Chain A
């Protein structure tokens, strides 16, 4: 079956290879193999602490570079305007292999450090300048507001002077006389403190001051309209300007202390209006200067980020690759005798020539003429499972691998899932229109494949895009099943001659169609569309179809056991496991399927007996074997046949339970009797830990081997019996439950059809009769609503639901019949797969 090429039928053949790599070429060799993506390296230093490995220093340096690159990318992200990052496929490649590699890496290290220091410096100065600007803006506000206070207060002062005209206030009078000669300046002998404080703290501030100073103050405050935005965090704060008048140094000191403790900022304001005007001018000038400097710093910083953005993608790539290369280098052993590094790994046997070419290429690149050597090792260890997939099969293989990775060289269910999965989906989804929408959406994704592969699609759409070929097949099969169910957006197509004729003259209220001798050639007869008892017929049809498809699918899955038994040379398993399971399944459910099909081929109108209910027939086959009511028998001799089949099924149960353990036991007796010859040759691949194998390989003393052997036998036999019991029970009970489980094919297709019909009835059908402009508008609107709901509910929601159930059928019902899934996945060192993360 296509032996020259490996196929998806089972895992590719893997070999354990040993690479002997001279130390000079090591880095370049690993880089080359990483680009190839074909080798999975084993850890040859499992006991070594990660901090003691050979290449720790290099990894640390690369980590430092990675940190710097991360810092750059976070700075670029934070910047408000988008900084363009040149994508990787567009950037000039950085050579990290070859003789100049070390030099390139050193250069890169230095460059990154430089960029980092510059960027940090610019950030700091920007921050500083922003704070300074904020302070100056506040100062300006304070100056402005206090000017208002003073102007207002000068107005009051006229009143104050006039009311305090007696000699009981000598000080004031004295001062007044002095001030009479300086009319330009409005002097206060009350000193003051001015500043800003957050609006929310203002009431508390006032209260505290009042209490502390016992009311010996005069405070005035106004709001600052514009909020202050903190440049680093972007948080807005609202502040107020306050000015507090008090007399006496102690009071002023107290005010200052309270203000500081409440987080207010104090500004030195002069009482003299001219001086205030001067400071205002000064502040404004400084503010303008600062704005200019800030602007320039911003421009410089942005220029720096743009320069970084040019090469950021290639730096990220290099840093990631180097880290991976050094981590892989840490997995190798240094052979002191030969002064080379030794690597061991798994690779597909077919790819060994490719790997050798890559090794030679690496040697040429680095300029030495000592090539690495590749050995093929013989081993008992189980290789990883590798299925080579292409764009098309990748999706299907992934969904089957999600259940479990196939054991090495086991039959791979992913191959068959390419067709059976979309088919079972389509049975539940069958509608030509919905299938077409699904097909077209997948086709669009596939046509735009190249562009979409490079773009970042987000999680949800990314998942749909990953499964685009699955969706394509699902849409295709859905159109086929839609044709068979004769359902296009809940309407029927009338493509061929119908088998039902409607009588012209209705006698009563209900009309019954008359069969006219045709059978509708392809699909469900459109005569059923709109009939009252349509569901009666379609339910019976779909349920029986589900059982037929289910039993066929399970039989197919069961047969997949046989190649496994043959490949792993478990010939006895064929007739201890496979044959009784097949007989059990067929004698009950295979018989049911045969009866279903037979019952359909009989014309019950011309038959002497009446049509039996198949479900009752099956139940009474078990409950009262041997007795069949002759009025509702399906065929002559039915009771005898059923008894025989029942007997067969019953015989299979002890067959499954006993045959295999008995054979194993006989085997063990034979080995016991013959001494310890043939250790492990007749046993199925057993689970042995690595230490035991190594012990055997290194020739441990006989006594140890004997003890192990005996323990193994005891252990093995009990295990075999238990395993067989579980297996038998699971299979027999599973047969029944899984067969019934396939009825979900009926259930979901019924739900889909009903939903589709309801949607039509509730949207478009109501507005179809309307005429005139209003009618047209109504139809258009309803049409849009109908389409959106069709796509959203019927295609997406129902589609996801059917996807899930089809997957379940594959995972539980089909895989339990043959799949062992005991393998581990081949995870090669591959730089290409890094980009996908």
Chain B
């Protein structure tokens, strides 16, 4: 049965990854850049995946094809 729960699991994983990025980026002149980039990429990619997944969990439309006899 398709449900929306996987999005919450993945959200938890992504938040954990973002926390890792925050704490484990090595200090240096590029720390802010690397940290921001990682966290932003994770957030953007998750957001887009979540939207795509949720849109298909309980779809209101079903695909319809005109039957072409082979």
Could you list which residues of chain A lie within 8 angstroms of chain B, going by C-beta atoms? 1-2, 4-9, 393, 415-416, 418-420, 423, 427, 480-481, 484, 499-500, 502, 506, 508-515, 517-525, 527-528, 530-534, 536-537, 540-541, 544-545, 548-549, 552, 597, 600-605, 611
Category for how many chain B residues contact A: 35 or more
Q: How far is the CB of B26 from chain A (nearest CB, A)?
A: 11
The answer to whether A514 and B62 touch across the interface, beta carbons within 8 angstroms, is yes
Contact of A419 among B37, B55, B58, B64 (CB under 8 A): B37
- How far apart are the CA atoms of A522 and B49 in the complex, in Å? 7
B31 / chain A contacts, CB cutoff of 8 Å: 2, 5, 7
- How far apart are the CA atoms of A427 and B61 in the complex, in Å? 23
A512 / chain B contacts, CB cutoff of 8 Å: 62-64
A508 / chain B contacts, CB cutoff of 8 Å: 67
A545 / chain B contacts, CB cutoff of 8 Å: 48, 51-52, 55
Question: Given A8-B32, A418-B33, A420-B44, A537–B59 Cβ distance below 8 Å?
Answer: yes
B55 / chain A contacts, CB cutoff of 8 Å: 540-541, 544-545, 600
B 30-43 to A, binary, CB cutoff 8 A, 1 in contact else 0:
01110111001100
Question: Given A523-B52, A601-B58, A416–B65 Cβ distance below 8 Å?
Answer: no
Contact of A524 among B40, B52, B67 (CB under 8 A): B52
Q: How far is the CB of A129 from chain B (nearest CB, A)?
A: 65
The answer to whether A415 and B4 touch across the interface, beta carbons within 8 angstroms, is no
Contact of B58 among A528, A532, A605 (CB under 8 A): A605
A-B contact pairs, 12 of them (CB 8 A): A7-B31, A419-B37, A423-B44, A481-B48, A484-B52, A513-B62, A515-B2, A518-B2, A519-B2, A519-B6, A519-B56, A530-B65
B67 / chain A contacts, CB cutoff of 8 Å: 506, 508-511
The answer to whether B64 and A519 touch across the interface, beta carbons within 8 angstroms, is no
B41 / chain A contacts, CB cutoff of 8 Å: 419, 423
Given contacts A7-B32, A8-B33, A532-B66, 9 further A-B contacts (CB under 8 A): A5-B27, A5-B31, A8-B32, A393-B33, A512-B62, A515-B59, A541-B51, A545-B52, A600-B57
> A4 — nearest CB in chain B belongs to which residue?
B27
- How far apart are the CA atoms of A8 and B6 in the complex, in Å? 36
A5 / chain B contacts, CB cutoff of 8 Å: 27-29, 31-32
Contact of B1 among A502, A517, A524 (CB under 8 A): A517
Contact of A510 among B45, B49, B59, B65 (CB under 8 A): B65
Contact of A2 among B27, B49, B58, B64 (CB under 8 A): B27
A393 / chain B contacts, CB cutoff of 8 Å: 33
- How far apart are the CA atoms of A552 and B46 in the complex, in Å? 13
The answer to whether B62 and A511 touch across the interface, beta carbons within 8 angstroms, is no
B49 / chain A contacts, CB cutoff of 8 Å: 484, 522
The answer to whether A416 and B56 touch across the interface, beta carbons within 8 angstroms, is no
Q: How far is the CB of B18 from chain A (nearest CB, A)?
A: 13
- How far apart are the CA atoms of A512 and B62 in the complex, in Å? 7
Contact of A548 among B32, B51, B59 (CB under 8 A): B51
- How far apart are the CA atoms of A549 and B6 in the complex, in Å? 20
The answer to whether the Cβ of B54 comes within 8 Å of any Cβ in the partner chain is: yes
The answer to whether B52 and A416 touch across the interface, beta carbons within 8 angstroms, is no
The answer to whether A510 and B48 touch across the interface, beta carbons within 8 angstroms, is no
B29 / chain A contacts, CB cutoff of 8 Å: 5-7
The answer to whether B36 and A532 touch across the interface, beta carbons within 8 angstroms, is no
A511 / chain B contacts, CB cutoff of 8 Å: 64-67
- How far apart are the CA atoms of A481 and B65 in the complex, in Å? 26
Question: Given A1-B32, A2-B32, A415-B33, A532–B65 Cβ distance below 8 Å?
Answer: yes
- How far apart are the CA atoms of A533 and B65 in the complex, in Å? 8
Contact of B63 among A534, A544, A604 (CB under 8 A): A534
A419 / chain B contacts, CB cutoff of 8 Å: 36-37, 40-41, 44
Contact of A416 among B27, B40, B45, B63 (CB under 8 A): B40
- How far apart are the CA atoms of A541 and B63 in the complex, in Å? 14
> B55 — nearest CB in chain A belongs to which residue?
A541
Question: Given A9-B32, A600-B58, A601-B57, A420–B27 Cβ distance below 8 Å?
Answer: no
The answer to whether B37 and A499 touch across the interface, beta carbons within 8 angstroms, is no
- How far apart are the CA atoms of A640 and B49 in the complex, in Å? 32
B36 / chain A contacts, CB cutoff of 8 Å: 9, 415-416, 418-419
Q: How far is the CB of A7 from chain B (nearest CB, A)?
A: 3
- How far apart are the CA atoms of A481 and B45 in the complex, in Å? 9
Question: Given A419-B44, A548-B47, A549-B47, A510–B56 Cβ distance below 8 Å?
Answer: no
- How far apart are the CA atoms of A508 and B66 in the complex, in Å? 9
Q: How far is the CB of B27 from chain A (nearest CB, A)?
A: 7
The answer to whether B52 and A510 touch across the interface, beta carbons within 8 angstroms, is no
- How far apart are the CA atoms of A418 and B57 in the complex, in Å? 32
Question: Given A506-B67, A600-B4, A549–B48 Cβ distance below 8 Å?
Answer: yes
Q: For B55, B56, B59, B63, which residue has the most chain A Cβ atoms within 10 angstroms?
A: B63
Question: Given A499-B2, A601-B4, A603-B58, A418–B37 Cβ distance below 8 Å?
Answer: yes
Contact of A480 among B2, B45, B63, B65 (CB under 8 A): B45
- How far apart are the CA atoms of A537 and B63 in the complex, in Å? 8
The answer to whether B47 and A604 touch across the interface, beta carbons within 8 angstroms, is no
Question: Given A8-B32, A419-B41, A484-B49, A531–B56 Cβ distance below 8 Å?
Answer: no
Which residues in window 1-30 of B have CB below 8 A to A? Answer: 1-2, 4, 6, 27-29
B65 / chain A contacts, CB cutoff of 8 Å: 502, 510-511, 513, 530-532
B37 / chain A contacts, CB cutoff of 8 Å: 418-419
Q: How far is the CB of B64 from chain A (nearest CB, A)?
A: 5
> B31 — nearest CB in chain A belongs to which residue?
A2
Question: Given A5-B29, A506-B67, A600-B4, A515–B40 Cβ distance below 8 Å?
Answer: no
B28 / chain A contacts, CB cutoff of 8 Å: 5
A611 / chain B contacts, CB cutoff of 8 Å: 60
The answer to whether B56 and A525 touch across the interface, beta carbons within 8 angstroms, is yes
- How far apart are the CA atoms of A461 and B57 in the complex, in Å? 46
Q: How far is the CB of B13 from chain A (nearest CB, A)?
A: 14
B45 / chain A contacts, CB cutoff of 8 Å: 480
